Structure formats: C-alpha cells, structure tokens
Amino acid sequence: MLETIVLLFALAGLVLYTVLGGADFGAGLWQLLSGPGPHGRAIRDHAHHAMAPVWEANHVWLIFVLTVAWTAFPVVVGSLASTLTVPISVAALGIIFRGLAYALQSATDVPHERRVIDTTFAVSSILTPYMLGAAVGAIASRRVPIGNAAGDLVTSWVNPTSILTGCLAVAVGAFLAAVYLAADAARLGDVNLEHAFRLRALVTGVLTGALAVAGLAVMHSDARHIYRGLTSGYGLAAVIVSAVAGLGTLALVWRSRFQLARVSAAMAVAAIIAGWAAAQRPTVLPGLTLHEAAASRETLIAVIVAVLAGGIILAPSLGLLFRLLLTGGFDRPSERAAAPADHRPRYAAAAGGYARLALACALAGFVLLSVVENGTAHLFGVITLLTAAALAFRAVGPADLPDDPASRGTVR
C-alpha cells in the first residue's frame, strides 16, 4: 500500500516533468527549426523568453523523480543506471549543455555567438528526451534485468520499442511546446507568432498521434505484455482518455482556444504515462514486483512525510511562479515603484560597541568549542562563534564606506 503511494508520487513527478520539462525540450526543437531571418529570430526569442524563467523549476521534477525512486526503490535504480548507462550518460550530457546554454544567454547578443549557443541548446534538447524516452522503452520491453549491469549495454536501449518511445518523447515535447508557445503568443497579441505556433501544434499533434498508434503496432511484436496491458482494463481506459484528449486538443488549437488546449494537451500526455504504468503492472523489472522492489516501511513513511511536507511549501510557490508567467507578469515592466525614502545609516556610531561584543563572543565561543570537551558546549560554542561573526560583520559595516579622498563624490 505504502509503496503504491510512493510510486504514485514518482509517477506524478514524471507526468509533471514530461508536461513541463518536455515542453522545455520542445521549445529547443522549435529553436532549431526556426529558419533564417527575422521571423526565425522572433521564433527563437519567443521560445527563449517563455521558458527562461521556469526551466530550472521544470528541470527539478527530474531530480524529484530520481531521488524518490532511489530512496523508495533502490534496487530498481541500481539496475537501471548500470544497464542503461549509455542513454542515461548521453541524457546527462544533454542536460549539461542545455543548462550551459541558459547560463550563456545573458552574456551575449552577438549573432554568431548566439547561433552557436542556440544550436547547442537545440541539439541537446532533442538528445536528452530521446535518451530518456529510450530508457523508458527499455523498462517497458523488459530489457533491464535485476542486478549490476546485468542487461545488454546496447540492445537494452537500441531496439524497436526504445526507438519508438524515444521518438515519441521528442514529438510529445514539440507538440506541448507548440501549444504553450501559441498560447503565450496569443496573450502577447503577436498574430504572426500565434499563427506560426498554431500550425506547428497542428502538425506535431497529428504526428504524435500517428507515432502513438504506430507504437501499439511495434509493441504488439516487440513487447507483447505491454500491448496486452494497453488494450485491456485500466491501460485501455488510459489510451482512450489520451486519444480523446489529443483529438480534443487538435480541435481546440484549430479554433485557437489555446488556454484550454494547454490543459487538454497536458492531459493527453499524462494519460500515456498512466497507461504505461497500468500496463506494466505488477512487475517493475522482470521478476520484480513493486512490493518486492520497495524499501522498508520506515523509509517509505519518511518519504511520504517529506513529500507531503515539501508539497505544502512548494505548491503555493509554484503557483506564484506560474501565475506570474501565465498572466504575463514577466512580460513587461510595471511602473517602477518610487525609490524608498532616504534613511541615513544609523549604525556607524555604534560600531565600537558591536566590535567589542563580537570580540567577547569570539572569546566565549573559543572556550566552549575548543577548550571544553562536551557536545552541548560545542553546540553553544558554534552558535556563539557564528554570532561573533555576524556582530563583526555589523561592526565593520561594509556598505557604509567613508568616501575615498581619491575619488570623492563619484559613482562609477
């Protein structure tokens, strides 16, 4: 029971990573396919501006899935990471270069430098989801046995199912990104960009759907148990939901109802993942059921407590970030509030007092931490020493410098 709850957390994280992070990857693909000239530039800039404030938060869903998985299902993670070392390493490499591209964006507007950065970003935006998708295909087609690198290092992820799931991951990202970016363009009132991404959303939507159908055929021959799972019971229900939501999204995009299309597109993708999970039951790896894979009760409870407690803090924070993003809070500068009133620094006069207090604390801390041999004394020693450091910082008052005679009155 407990392990099912934790698995649901991990799957929810995976859905959010696909729906949010996947769109991030898709935006990278659209940057690559943006074409030359000012129109291409506009597409690249639009994709960048829409994603830059949220890419880090979107990326962290992957970390969330990873850490929950290795805490709650350590044997699974050990087996996956060792057998699938190649695709996971390549995905990691892609993550390095994507992050690097974001770090570099603020540094330059020179066209040829931007071109290098954009291309790096785009290529790694295709590589990473492909490899992660291929890894999912390896699990689905039962090519990862239990144990340290017990599976084949190559055929585990180079096989019909993995190639299909890899391509599907790239296509899903492109589709989601096109829908989201069309919605953003509509909000900004940019008709050209709106049309451009509407067309892209329609094309990739049809393509993704075709891939998903082809996928069923591939699994019929390559991963029969998943095929059976997807054509009966919960799996079938998820496939139907995904198909309906996908078709609904196309209709909404066709009629330029982008805000709703955002939701239904995300739903279509979430249903695919739910269907996979349902079809995979009850084993995680060949011969390893979820229950057998799970960590002990204490650890599972600790994970659940940590996720719930973290969720209480995170949910409103994420809400704030996406509210700012989706309501256009990041689009244009608001009227800057007047600078606050001019307070003169007050603590210069008291600096001597702080300095003496800092010295006293430092001395007391030294005695407690370095002379006395007792754990409690050490604790207070550390606290006293940190207090001494804070007081010394205050005494020095680094921001209240007297004017240097050599450059009086200039702010350079």
Partner 1 sequence: MLGLVGAFSGVAPVQQSYLLQARQMQALSFAVHIPLVCFGIAFPALVLFVEWRYLRTGEEVYRTLARRWTKVLVTLFAAGVVTGTILSFEMGLLWPNFTSTFGSVFGLGFAIEGFSFFLEAIFIGIYVYGWDRLSPRAHFLAGLPIAVAGVLGSIMVISVNGWMNHPRGFRLVDGKVTDVDPWRALFGNSYFWHELVHMYLAGYIVTGFLVAGAYAVGKLRGRWGRYERIALAVPLTAAAVASPVQVLVGDWAARDVAHNQPIKLAALEGLGTTTRGAPIHLLGWYTDGHVRYGIEIPKLLSFLAFHSTDATVTGLNAFPADDLPPVNVVRIAFQLMVGIGTLLALLSLAFLLVRWRRGSLPAARWFYPALVLAGPASVVALIAGWVTTEVGRQPWVVYRVMRTDEAVTRASGIPVSYGVLALAYAILVGAVAWTLRRLAVKPLPAPEG
Footprint on residues 307-336 left by partner 1 (CB under 8 A): 307, 310, 313-314, 317-318, 320-321, 324, 329-330, 333-334, 336
Q: Which two tokens stand for residue 57?
A: 């938060």
We find the least distance from the C-beta atom of residue 217 to partner 1, in angstroms, to be: 32
Which DSSP string do the residues of 145-186 spell out, in sequence order? -SSTT-S-TTTTTSSHHHHHHHHHHHHHHHHHHHHHHHHHHH
The reply on whether position 392 binds partner 1 by CB under 8 A is yes
Smaller CB distance to partner 1: residue 72 or 170?
A: 72
* Cis ω for the linkage preceding 53 (within 30 of 0): no
Q: Which of 282, 298, 349, 376 binds partner 1 (CB under 8 A)?
A: 298
- Yes or no: say if 19 and 270 are a contact pair by the CB < 8 Å rule: yes
C-alpha distance from residue 358 to each of 87, 236, 350, 363, 394 (Å): 55, 69, 13, 9, 9
SS3 content of the chain, % helix, strand, coil (to 5): 75, 0, 20
Q: Look up residue 34 and give its amino acid.
A: S
Which positions from 123 through 182 interact with partner 1, judged by CB under 8 A? Answer: 146-150, 153
Q: Which of 7, 15, 29, 68 binds partner 1 (CB under 8 A)?
A: 68
x/- track of binding to partner 1 for residues 87-106 (CB under 8 A): -xx-xxx-xxxxxx-xxx-x
- Yes or no: say if 256 and 263 are a contact pair by the CB < 8 Å rule: no
- Yes or no: say if 61 and 108 are a contact pair by the CB < 8 Å rule: no
Smaller CB distance to partner 1: residue 54 or 134?
A: 54
Which positions from 185 through 224 interact with partner 1, judged by CB under 8 A? Answer: none
CA distance 69 to 57: 19
Q: Which of 299, 357, 364, 380 binds partner 1 (CB under 8 A)?
A: 299
Smaller CB distance to partner 1: residue 103 or 210?
A: 103
Cα 106–Cα 121–Cα 65 angle in degrees, nearest 5:
100
CA distance 330 to 350: 42
We find the least distance from the C-beta atom of residue 173 to partner 1, in angstroms, to be: 18
We find the least distance from the C-beta atom of residue 83 to partner 1, in angstroms, to be: 7
Smaller CB distance to partner 1: residue 31 or 242?
A: 31
The reply on whether position 402 binds partner 1 by CB under 8 A is yes
- 38: Cα separation from own chain's centroid: 30
The reply on whether position 282 binds partner 1 by CB under 8 A is no
Q: Which of 8, 63, 191, 213 binds partner 1 (CB under 8 A)?
A: 63
# of chain residues touching partner 1 (CB under 8 A): 117
Smaller CB distance to partner 1: residue 253 or 293?
A: 293
Which positions from 336 through 375 interact with partner 1, judged by CB under 8 A? Answer: 336-337, 339-345, 351, 355, 362, 365-366, 369-371, 373
In the three-class reduction of DSSP (H, G, I as helix; E, B as strand; rest coil), residue 289 is classed as strand
We find the least distance from the C-beta atom of residue 260 to partner 1, in angstroms, to be: 25
